[in-house]
Amino acid sequence: NTKITQSPRYLILGRANKSLECEQHLGHNAMYWYKQSAEKPPELMFLYNLKQLIRNETVPSRFIPECPDSSKLLLHISAVDPEDSAVYFCASSQSTISNERLFFGHGTKLSVL
């Protein structure tokens, strides 16, 4: 799926700051950040619709999302914790209507030293 691109694919961090990037080429209005820990289903972190943050689940304050335009999504991470080791998926959908399918990127695998 090259219609949603995420970078980087792999990230190894100590207690540094870093940003994950996502861009979708589908013309969708809604964009999401999901966290998937090992052997678990994805968990919603943030949801933007038309560049507005409309869902902000219980996420540590060291994770800060940004939506600079409707096709791009960033996730800024500061002072990572070992519990943050996971795969972070960006996803998009045409709208936030309940029956809309989500399109997922390949994910960024974050490993915290």
Cβ proximity of 32 and 102 under 8 Å = yes
Is 48 a binding residue for other proteins by CB under 8 A? The answer is no
Q: Any bridge partners for residue 31, and if so which?
A: 48, 92
Whether the upstream peptide bond of residue 65 has omega within 30° of 0, thus cis, is: no
- Site residue total, other proteins (CB under 8 A): 25
CA 103 to chain centre: 12
Is 58 a binding residue for other proteins by CB under 8 A? The answer is no
Contacts of other proteins in 8-27 (CB under 8 A): none
State the residues that interact with other proteins by CB under 8 A. 1, 4, 30, 32, 40-42, 44, 47, 49, 54-55, 89, 91, 93, 96, 98-102, 104-107
